[in-house]
Amino acid sequence: MFKHFLLSSLFLTSTIASAKTIEIREKGEIIYTYDDKAQPIYFYDHEKHKKNFMLTNFYPEHLIYIENKKWPTTEHYYQAKKFQDKQIQEKIRNLETPDDARDYAHTTKAKKIVPKSWHVKPKKSDASDWDIPKVKIMYKANLAKFKQHQTLRNFLLQTGNAPLAEDSQLDETWGIGEKGHGKNFMGKILMRVRHELRKKCVLP
């Protein structure tokens, strides 16, 4: 089951199996790796996966700095970027909790970006799923989060080469979904961030 949600997603441009290590490539370059024999590390629910909660977008203990502003969580930033209106973005940025940010973005009638463009690849020959706007935003937010805070960075790097998976039973896009067949975009983003930190020699 786990192999399915790692290898069946649209993110898989190519895979190379060498011993226990799977290499995921994007346009010919390795973007992340994982050990297919390692026990997956799941994250999402605070109670179920409490020790891994800092991997989630709802972890509130460290501010992140993006675009010369402080954001309470990566969830705040992601939800704010759904909107073109700068006042709405500021409204979301200043909400107290990530749950508030998500709920406000889901319920407000303010004009969002063009819905289709948020979810699909640009119309260019070499576009991949990493070029989908919402994926780029989420990757940008999480790269900032883990680069800016040593505690978080060390925690992510100490996952070694284990596969990472968002254990959301309801989300087939960001998580693995109820049957484990989801695209697991969040897990893949975190594995890419982990690989990027190692490549840049940002070590614990």
pLDDT 10s digits, 139-154: 999 999 999 999 999 9
Classify 28 in phi/psi space as left (phi over 0), alpha (psi -120 to 50) or beta: left
Say how many C-beta atoms besides its own lie within 10 A of residue 48's C-beta: 11
- Rounded distance between C-alpha atoms, residue 172 and residue 23, angstroms: 23
Which pLDDT does position 65 carry in this prediction? 98
Kind and range of the H or E run holding 35: strand 29-35
pLDDT 10s digits, 4-22: 455 444 444 444 444 489 9
In this structure, the strands spanning 41-43 and 164-166 are: parallel
Domains and CATH numbers, the chain: 2-62+114-199 (1.10.357)
Confidence band (pLDDT; 50, 70, 90) for 50? Answer: confident
**DSSP code string of 132-201:** SHHHHHHHHHHHHHHHH-HHHHHHHHTTTT--EEE--SS-SSSS--TTS-S--HHHHHHHHHHHHHHHTT
Select from 190, 196, 124 the least CA-distant residue to 156: 190
Which pLDDT does position 6 carry in this prediction? 56
Confidence band (pLDDT; 50, 70, 90) for 201? Answer: low
Q: What is the mean pLDDT of residues 43-63?
A: 92
More confident residue, 4 or 194: 194
Which pLDDT does position 114 carry in this prediction? 66
Which pair of tokens denotes residue 15? 């895979």
Q: Kindly report the length of the chain.
A: 204
Confidence band (pLDDT; 50, 70, 90) for 165? Answer: very high
Percentage of the chain lying above the pLDDT 70 cut? 88
DSSP state for residue 112 in the 8-state scheme: B
Which pair of tokens denotes residue 204? 């614990």
Which pair of tokens denotes residue 172? 């087939």
